[in-house]
Amino acid sequence: MHGSRHDQFIEERVTILTEGERIEGTLFYASGVRLSDFLNSPNQQEAKFLRIKDPIVTCRRTGQQTEKGPFALVSRDRLVLVVTHEAHEAREEEDARPSDSASLMARGLGPRHSL
């Protein structure tokens, strides 16, 4: 499920990585378009900046917050990675789950070895 939708735009909570910064905020893009399509579309490449609402900018090297504000434009040329918070949270949940073999071993159902 996407972030909140308005008539023409989707607001999606994202984390953006550039070479030196981590930017967390809300990205605006056209309704009816997947985020990956929006980022890769030749038509969108003409728009040189992504619009970010309520950005929090952190230095990747130090982890220190460097900027916070109501609005920012992030140059597409500086993008290394864009991930939605929904995708990030799903990945963290998946990483926190025990693997099938670990789960089976914990229940005593793993492979049996004979000596």
Out of 10-14, 56-60, 95-99, 101-105, which region has the weakest mean confidence (pLDDT)?
Answer: 101-105
Q: Tell me the whole-structure pTM to 2 decimals.
A: 0.68
| Radius of gyration over every alpha carbon of the chain, rounded to an integer in angstroms | 20
- Determine contact, residues 21/60, Cβ cutoff 8 Å: yes
- Determine contact, residues 2/21, Cβ cutoff 8 Å: no
- Determine contact, residues 25/55, Cβ cutoff 8 Å: yes
CATH of 4-97, one of 2.30.30.100, 3.30.1330.80, 3.40.50.720, 1.10.10.10: 2.30.30.100
Is the pLDDT at 112 greater than 50? The verdict is no
Q: 12-62 pLDDT, tens per residue?
A: 999 999 999 999 999 988 888 888 888 887 776 667 899 999 999 999 999
pLDDT score, position 24: 97
Is the pLDDT at 6 greater than 60? The verdict is no
Structure tokens at 21: 């910064």
